[in-house]
Amino acid sequence: MDIAVCVKTNPDLQLVRIKDRVPVLEAVPFKVGDLEKNALEAALQLRDAAGDGRIVAVAAAQGDRKVKETMKEALAIGADEAVIVTDPGLDGADQAGVAAVLAAALSKHGPFDLILFGEGSSDGYSGQVPGRVAELLGLPEIGYARKLEAGAAGLRAERSMGEVVEVLEVALPAVATVVSEINEPRIPSLMHIMKAGKKPVAEVGLADLGLEAGALAPGREVLSNLAEEQARKRVMLDGDAAAQAQALVDALVAEGVLGR
């Protein structure tokens, strides 16, 4: 089974600090997204069960996300090779542009039996790219899979939809997205980390894929994605503990947080 895993590098959210409602990314390292690691682990398990095949990590480099260095982590986890699309024209692309680039890269370096994504990236979390890629490639898509295995039709997926558990089968080739509970990603050993530097990495530009930067211009403009500004009320409670407790309850009732 030949599997492509689309990988996005994201800032380490645990090291991001907020200043004036804006995330400060200076000196914050980038890493393979957590959901992408789940997708890589799912690919490895499917390949191991099939007994043969290759796993290719595919990424579209946008901005200074250290994609080349970060993709070594995907190779250390178990991908056999990597494809990186790098071009200045990618920097301003939105989800539609990224999907077009990934679809072109997958077509050029395929064919693949299965294309895996995380259900969303940990920075933007729009969840749009997998569906757009599936549409561009004319492939069926299964979203939010919590279990993947070979099925009679090709691939069997299990997903939780509220209080209902769905079991779906789809013929290959296909696209699937995975959720975090599908597995526990493996931690690469030192030997695998060292071997990752010797695995093949192909770097291609938009021209290699038959694309032009102008075609990736975003169709919308993001005015702001900041959290709603909230002013502190700075209410001081006086008196003994009982009086302060009662004053706190009264204040919460007045704000509508608690009901009488």
> What pLDDT score was predicted for residue 3?
96
**191 has pLDDT over 90:** yes
Is the pLDDT assigned to residue 37 strictly greater than 90? Answer: yes
Which value, to the nearest 10 degrees, does the dihedral of the CA atoms of residues 201, 207, 211, 214 take? 120
Does residue 16 register a pLDDT over 90? Answer: no
What is the rounded distance in angstroms from the CA atom of residue 9 to the CA atom of residue 117?
13
Considering the chain, what is the average pLDDT of its residues? 87
Q: How far is CA 200 from CA 111, 145, 196, 203, in A?
A: 18, 29, 9, 10
pTM recorded for the entire structure = 0.81
The reported pLDDT for the residue numbered 166 is 92
**Cis peptide upstream of residue 23 (ω within 30 degrees of 0):** no
User: In the prediction, which pLDDT does 172 show?
Assistant: 93
Question: In the prediction, which pLDDT does 161 show?
Answer: 85
Instruction: From 39, 68, 208, select the one nearest 130 (Cα to Cα).
Output: 39
- From CA 256, how far away is CA 249, in angstroms rounded? 11
Tell the burial category of 161 from Cβ atoms under 10 Å away from its Cβ (0-12, 13-18, 19+): exposed
At 120-157, the pLDDT tens digits run 776 666 778 999 999 999 999 999 999 999 888 889 99
Please check the confidence at residue 19 and state whether its pLDDT lies above 80: no
Report the pLDDT value the prediction gives residue 190, as an integer from 0 to 100: 92
Q: What percent of the chain has pLDDT over 70?
A: 95
Predicted confidence band of residue 220 (pLDDT cuts 50, 70, 90): confident
Q: Over the range 48-57, which residues count as b (16 or more CB within 10 Å of their CB) and which as e?
A: eeeeebebbb
The residue among 260 and 34 whose pLDDT is bigger is: 34
Give the per-residue pLDDT at 125: 67
Instruction: Note the pLDDT tens digit of each residue in 51-99.
Output: 889 999 999 887 676 788 888 999 999 999 999 998 887 777 788 888 9
List, in order of start, the domains of the chain with CATH numbers: 3-216 (3.40.50.620), 230-260 (no CATH)
pLDDT at 17 over 70: yes
Q: Mean of the pLDDT values across residues 170-199?
A: 93
Q: Could you tell me the CA-to-CA distances from 154 to 1, 104, 150 in Å, in that order?
A: 10, 24, 6
- The pLDDT, as a whole number, for residue 20 is 75
> Is pLDDT above 90 for 41?
yes
**pLDDT over 90 at 211, yes or no:** no
DSSP conformation letters of 50-90: HT---EEEEEEE-SS--HHHHHHHHHHHT-SEEEEEE-GGG
Give pLDDT, residue 239.
85
- Closest Cα to residue 76, out of 165, 177, 7? 7
For the cut 90, the answer to whether the pLDDT of residue 235 exceeds it is: no
Asked if residue 215 has pLDDT above 80, the reply is no
Q: What is the mean pLDDT of residues 172-184?
A: 94
How confident is residue 251, by pLDDT bands cut at 50, 70 and 90? confident
pLDDT at 121: 75
